[in-house]
Amino acid sequence: PAYQEQYRPQFHFSPIANWMNDPNGLFFHKGNYHLFYQYNPDSTIWGPMHWGHATSGDLVHWEHQAPALSPDAAGMIFSGSVVVDHQNTSGLGQNDQVPILAYYTAHRMDWEQDHRLDFQNQAMAFSLDDGLSWEKYNHGHPVLFNPGIKDFRDPKVFWHSPTQRWIMLLAAGDHIAIWNSGNGIDWDYCSDFYGPKLEADGVWECPDLLKMPVGNTQTYKYVLLVSVNAYGPFGGSATKYFVGDFDGRTFTSDQQNTLWVDYGKDNYAGVSWNNIPREDGRLLTIGWMNNWEYAQNTPTERWRSAMTVPKRLSLEKAANQYLLKSHPIEALKSLREEAIAVADVRLGHPAPQQQFFTNDLSGAFELSLTIMESDAQQFGLWLHNVQGDTFQVMYNASEQKIITDRSKAGTFFSREGFYSKPTFVEWPKRYPLKLHLLVDWSSVELFVQNGEKAMTNTFYPSTAITSITAFSHGGNSAFENIEVFPLKSIW
């Protein structure tokens, strides 16, 4: 069967071969979810960027399509977004065919003696066949020229109905620049958003601005996503968010602290699907499941990098603090084989641990459980394979942290210098505690308490995970509602 190479994700999107980074141009149209992605079709390392392309009817099973956009004289095709121009504001529609507009950064690299000069402008392509083939607008000449900033990229465009304008967000080094347009072709500058500069910060990339209801109310807030390369919570690249308001020209943030979309190492450049039908209303995202810190060195052979599972985002307000939650999309349940129920168990004295499976899991599965109560110092789970590679998920009660540790889960991240440090989220003791894990051949996505916190990590065990052990040290813990679903491959 296809896609059985070592480490190859079984229910995550990955390219057939070669290098992939950011998701691009996510949009839904006529029953299809489109996923474009930063792609180098000639190598397993980053290089001349194209937009790779895949489509899906359910966001679970993907069909690979031919690359949509290739580099030209204006440069490589960097990250960007796609919108459906329902009202034909661009005038590019023909014979009632609604034009679909793709915005990307044309990235030209020149060398002046020994130093590199980057030129980044925004260009556009359009499709008149529902997104299958693309023509560059004005032969790829930019529609929005760089005002003289080195990093000026990753256009995210959306329609703002109160002002009847298209809005474009751009990552501009240490801030987000907001522009708008009536026809999607001629762009006007609106404002800059810098955010509170609280700590060392990396280069801002891949913005998105999401209009979200607060809980089940009719009150809306805007959530600005900003991916930041370097100085993530555990090093390397990671995605921040700011909650605030947007009046059509300016984004203002309510908050003074730093919030992260994910507290693992491998969820980057995530943005949302455009054109989801209003009656559906879900806010759907997908992220690149890798980290610039080591992305070019990961030990896969034919292909490099996968996406996270598609996630639904929601926004809650509790104790005067906004919280962006992540949930695996419902449609993933279609991959479930019959549930394997595991009996409730109380671990600690005299039995501190119990192994649930003896190498009879297939390496791709979902696991959920509730810790009803605990007075242990540490409790958690070991996910392991025949060789004894072990990925640990643990609660440390004295530190009040939920911790993931991949340092003993295969050689790649345990090698010195390869970022074996655990990741964690602050978690004041509170029971019941619900953990939900999606485990694939080279990743673990952890959702804590129905998505209050998400932790996404890759790892490279010599063979896939086949056993689970629960443990409770320095006290007793009650593990209940333990359920395992083996997951079918999406390929």
Q: What is the contact surface with ligand FRU in residues (CB under 6 A)?
A: 21-22, 38, 49, 78-79, 105, 153-154, 205-206, 269
Least Å from the CB of residue 245 to ligand FRU: 26
Least Å from the CB of residue 311 to ligand FRU: 18
Closest to ligand FRU by CB, 50 vs 436, is 50
What is the rounded CA–CA span in Å between residue 434 and residue 397?
A: 15
What is the rounded CA–CA span in Å between residue 277 and residue 468?
A: 40
Least Å from the CB of residue 204 to ligand FRU: 9
Helix (H/G/I), strand (E/B), else coil: 87: coil
How far is the CA of 210 from the CAs of 92, 223, 303, 410, in angstroms?
27, 5, 32, 38
> What residues contact 135, with CB distance under 8 A and at least 6 apart?
125, 126, 127, 128
Least Å from the CB of residue 489 to ligand FRU: 27
266 and 9 Cβ atoms separated by less than 8 Å: no
What beta strand segments (E) does 113-256 contain? 115-127, 135-136, 153-160, 165-171, 176-181, 188-193, 203-213, 220-229, 238-246, 251-253
Q: Amino acid identity, residue 177?
A: A
Least Å from the CB of residue 152 to ligand FRU: 10
Residue 231: exposure state from Cβ atoms within 10 A (0-12, 13-18, ≥19)? middle
267 and 261 Cβ atoms separated by less than 8 Å: yes
Closest to ligand FRU by CB, 178 vs 269, is 269
What is the rounded CA–CA span in Å between residue 295 and residue 267?
A: 12
Closest to ligand FRU by CB, 226 vs 347, is 226
- What is the residue whose two structure tokens read 């990339």? 205
124 and 25 Cβ atoms separated by less than 8 Å: no
Closest to ligand FRU by CB, 38 vs 370, is 38
Which of the following is catalytic: 22, 151, 262, 440? Answer: 22
Least Å from the CB of residue 341 to ligand FRU: 41
Q: Amino acid identity, residue 140?
A: G
Of 271, 217, 224, the residue nearest 245 (C-alpha): 224
Of 41, 37, 54, 38, the residue nearest 131 (C-alpha): 54
Closest to ligand FRU by CB, 308 vs 477, is 308
Least Å from the CB of residue 91 to ligand FRU: 28
What is the rounded CA–CA span in Å between residue 83 and residue 90?
A: 11
227 and 239 Cβ atoms separated by less than 8 Å: yes
Closest to ligand FRU by CB, 151 vs 366, is 151
Least Å from the CB of residue 205 to ligand FRU: 4
Least Å from the CB of residue 249 to ligand FRU: 24
Query: Cα angle at 139 between 131 and 97, to 5 degrees?
Result: 30
- Indicate if 22 belongs to the active site: yes
Closest to ligand FRU by CB, 456 vs 466, is 456
DSSP state of 297: G
Of 389, 397, 448, the residue nearest 420 (C-alpha): 389
Closest to ligand FRU by CB, 38 vs 314, is 38
How far is the CA of 20 from the CAs of 23, 200, 302, 344, 479, in angstroms?
9, 28, 12, 42, 39
Closest to ligand FRU by CB, 78 vs 137, is 78
How far is the CA of 134 from the CAs of 1, 53, 82, 442, 452, in angstroms?
32, 11, 11, 34, 39
- By annotation, the residues acting in catalysis are 22
